[in-house]
Every structure is written in structure tokens, then in C-alpha cells.
Structure 1
């Protein structure tokens, strides 16, 4: 006899059967309650595209209590889990994690899957340890408020460099090449494709005016960028990504681009700006701390080691 206290988990691998809108609404509800997104932007893209390897659900299709999404990432996969705030402490996360472990094993991904615990919510570390996973990476969320943003002025750019907004379509190939070079060692950002870029352009938050490109005045070669992000009423912004070409390192362009984006977001109404940075990227952490950013939360990545 089935134990009614154990949530039923459905494993969906056919994109046509995945209620994408309901999964994303679930994630939005968790973010509103926790102040932290439970699914990465790339995982959300895979849910929308129908390219997730598997989506596990508990509860009704139209309003699930919880979901686990197994999405492709390079040669491996990434697993993220979300439980509705009203359905917590009912064994939903435990049930999802158990079934997700079975799916991962069936696909032979045990050594190639990473699991993200966003916001390091209570119980995440215990659940990961129960499945033999070890923390291998910390992604910090840092923030500044209006007391830091208000006095900022437009930065002085390196000689021979100008700043302009991204032009959709026209700048795609050059930006993708720059991004891949700037994030050659980054497992997510450096692997963005044309399809990924187009998916992000289709998001409600996308604004080409806030996608700032630094180029060499002499020939228009892209040297760096600051992609800003603002959702909702625009009072909270995000340093979505800052990248500098290896050929432009040492010019102070990273700091200048960061400040330029902060000024843009502030002038657009932002009273707070967040960013995400790897804890072991000490140079970036120091730069952000000097600009006034403080630690606000953190994500942990777990793997089997």
C-alpha cells in the first residue's frame, strides 16, 4: 500500500508533458518568499525551451508543490530543486531528491552532475550530504543600496575606448566571441550560444540600452561589456555580467564598466543592485568590496567527489 505521507513524484522527460508555465510560477513564488531565485536563468531557459533532460514534479500540474529540474550543462548536467513555500516541511524536497538521484543514476550522470542549493536555505546541506554530495563551489550574492549608488558619477574610460549600447543582431557574433574569451574558464557564462542570447533577449527584463559595450575607438573592436538587468518596477537592479577581453586586461576597464552600469541602473530608478560572484574570484570580490558591495547571501554547488 502506498504511504500517503510520501509525496508522489512524476518524472517527465517529454517536453510536451512538462507544464513549463507552472514550474516557472512555482519558482517565482519561492523567490518572492525567500528573496533568492531557486532556478538559474539557464535552467529557466531549458524549462521554457523544453530542453531539460527531466523535470520531476509533486502535486498538481497546474500548481505543483515542488519541482526538480535536470538540465544539460556542457558534458554533464545541473540539478536544481524548488519547493513551494506553502508545501515545505512535508517531505517534498526529500522525495524529489530521492527520485532525482534515481534519474541521474539511470542516465549515468552520477560523476557529471552538479547540484545547486540557492541561498543555502536550511536543510540544503543536510539533504546534499545524505546523497553523498560535497560542496565544491560558493557563489556569493553581494549588494549595494542607495547610499552607495547616489554619489556615483560616470567613470573615466581608458584612453581610446568608448562606451555604447548593444545593438541586437548587429553585435551578436562579436559579443559571443568576446564573452567566450572573457569567461573561457567559467562553466556557465563562457558557454553561452546564439540561442541562449536570443532567449535572454526575449525576457521581459531585457533592455538593450542597459547592455553596455566598450569598444576601441580606432576600429570598433569589442573590449568589454556590462550587461545590466532590472526586473519589475526597476528599483532592484543586477550586475548580470561584466566581461573584459584578455587583450584589455590591466586597463581598469572592469571597474569602469561596473561603475557605468551602476550609474545606468541608478538613473533608471534602482535603489539596490545585486551581483553574483564566485567566492574564489578574489580579484573580483576585492573590486566589488571597494565599490561598496557587501555579502548578502550565497549559493553552494555540490558534486560527488
Structure 2
């Protein structure tokens, strides 16, 4: 086995093998080993991801990917228990590593190498009658709901995207992945093949182009039936404490139910106990978790 640093976007001969590896691992584990950004980083050099390969000749046994904040790794199901994960992990000394699904084998490997779980990200889901109940949106007189298409028609794209970025960065000033966005980062996010402008919803102050909050929904078609996701939801600082969080969440749920969603998921930090309780009160339950393992 050979461990080899690699810049995958410059190696199209290896990209198909990396994608096949990820698909095989997802089928075996029931959860994707790489998050959306790391999948994009296999071919998008703009993300600046660094890769480490575990190779047996030309056969790809395992893959690790890193950005400035963290790393993710995956091992082919047929190559497990052969030291591949250990070899890759040794190349990630001092780096935070995600374990998607936080599966027993990943936990055991991390603990064996002296790592500590420092972050838990929960996946919560709601379906059936509980979803239909949670999707009851009641309009308010102080804000107006518009989707991205309608907002651009009224206020212009530049004004809308600047307001969107401002609200996002206020809501997620603390967040390692979602905070600190700029127009280039927002533009890249909108390049995703699943992105649809009508699935981005805003609450605007009535009578003025001031954004109160946004609810970016995502439609998953990789399963049948398709399902929805509360992708990102946030309030601008000036509109917190006004009771807008609940209608903003319900606005997106109503939109997804209107598209035919029978199930909706979301991601939330486990330590954000108030948010977890809000979602539980709306009928969401924990369906899986992801974890960051660090050397501390």
C-alpha cells in the first residue's frame, strides 16, 4: 500500500475512482462519508482542498480530504481492517476529522489514536402528520414572505444578495462552515446541481427592502420519494426576539410540503440545546449524528 498526497482536481484519471469509492462506502455504511463541500472539492480546485490517497497499484483503497478547518476520510469496504484508515489518519496529525454517522468502527479508531469527540452534529427528521402540522404557516402583518425569484424582481439581485449575506453572517458569525460568506462563496453555493431559486425563501420588513430572515430549503431527489431539507435558516440581528423564528421555519416547511415532501430533515449542533428543543416540539426526532474527533 502506498500513501500519496494528491491534488484530485488536477487528476481526472482518479476522479471516477474516488466517486466510486464514496458510493461503495455509502452503500455499505448507510451514510455518506464525505459532506457536500468535500464531494465538490474532488473536482473544484477553487475550494483548495488537499487530498491523500491510499493506493494498491492503481486501485484506490482509501481517500482523505482536508480544507483549512477539518478533514474527512473514507476506506473502501473491501479494504477495511487492513490498516488503511490508520495510515490515512496518521497523515492528518493535529487536524480535526469528521466521522459521518459516528459509526462504531470510526469511534473505535479515533479513540485508539487518542482523539476526543469535540463536536456533534445531529440530523433530525419529521414526517407524516407531524410534518403537516409543523408546516402550518400563518402570515404576519409586519413581514412579507417572498422567494428569491420574487425578491430579485422587486429589489434587484445585488440588493437581495447583499441583504442575504448580511443576515447569514449575522446569524452564523460563530459557525466554522456557514459564517463569513461573501458574494463569491454565495455564488459557488448556487452552482450546486440541486439549487433552485424558488426554494430560497425570505421574510422582508413590510414596505422596505430590509431582510428579516431567510430559509434556504433543499430538495433531495436521490431517494424515492424525494424529501426536503431545512438547509440553512437564520434571522438578521435586528429581528431577533420578535417571535419570527417559528414562522420562518414553518414557511420553509410549508413550501416543501407544497412540493410533495413526506419527510423533511435538518442539521443542528447537539450543543445548541434550545434549538434542538424547538425542533423536537415541532415533531422532529434525531435520526443520525456526525462527529468531529480532535487531538486535544
CA–CA distance in structure 2, aligned partners of residues 216 and 40 of structure 1: 34
Change (3 A) 1:194 1:37: farther
Given that residues 56 and 100 in structure 1 are in contact (C-alpha distance below 8 angstroms), is that contact kept between their aligned partners in structure 2?
A: no
Which position in structure 2 is the counterpart of 1:220? Answer: 209
Which position in structure 2 is the counterpart of 1:9? Answer: 3
TM-score relative to the length of structure 2: 0.86
Given that residues 20 and 47 in structure 1 are in contact (C-alpha distance below 8 angstroms), is that contact kept between their aligned partners in structure 2?
A: yes
Which position in structure 2 is the counterpart of 1:164? Answer: 146
**Which deviates the most, 22-31 or 235-244?**
22-31
Of 253, 267, 271, which aligns to 2:244?
253
Unaligned runs of 5+ in 2: none
Which position in structure 2 is the counterpart of 1:95? Answer: 87
Q: In the alignment, is residue 58 of structure 1 matched against residue 54 of structure 2?
A: yes
Of 106, 126, 135, which aligns to 1:124?
106
Listed one character per residue, the Cα deviations across residues 90-143 of structure 1 (whole Å, up to 9, x for unaligned) are: 332222212333xxxxxxxx2xx3211111012212222233321111111111
Which position in structure 1 is the counterpart of 2:264? Answer: 273
Of 83, 86, 102, which aligns to 2:75?
83
Q: In the alignment, is residue 203 of structure 1 matched against residue 192 of structure 2?
A: yes
Change (3 A) 1:261 1:84: farther
Of 65, 81, 84, which aligns to 1:69?
65
Q: Report deviation, 1:200.
A: 2.2
CA–CA distance in structure 2, aligned partners of residues 62 and 250 of structure 1: 57
Which position in structure 2 is the counterpart of 1:146? Answer: 128
> What pairs up with 1:7-46 in 2 under 5 angstroms?
7-13=1-7, 15-17=9-11, 19-46=14-41
Given that residues 8 and 15 in structure 2 are in contact (C-alpha distance below 8 angstroms), is that contact kept between their aligned partners in structure 1?
A: no
Listed one character per residue, the Cα deviations across residues 27-66 of structure 1 (whole Å, up to 9, x for unaligned) are: 3443344332322223233333224442112347997332
Count of aligned pairs: 285
Q: Report deviation, 1:234.
A: 6.0
CA–CA distance in structure 2, aligned partners of residues 264 and 60 of structure 1: 48
SS at match of 1:58: strand
Which position in structure 1 is the counterpart of 2:289? Answer: 298
CA–CA distance in structure 2, aligned partners of residues 62 and 161 of structure 1: 58
Unaligned runs of 5+ in 1: 1-6, 102-109
Superposed CA RMSD: 2.4
SS at match of 1:276: strand
Which position in structure 2 is the counterpart of 1:104? Answer: none
Which position in structure 1 is the counterpart of 2:174? Answer: 185
CA–CA distance in structure 2, aligned partners of residues 183 and 241 of structure 1: 10
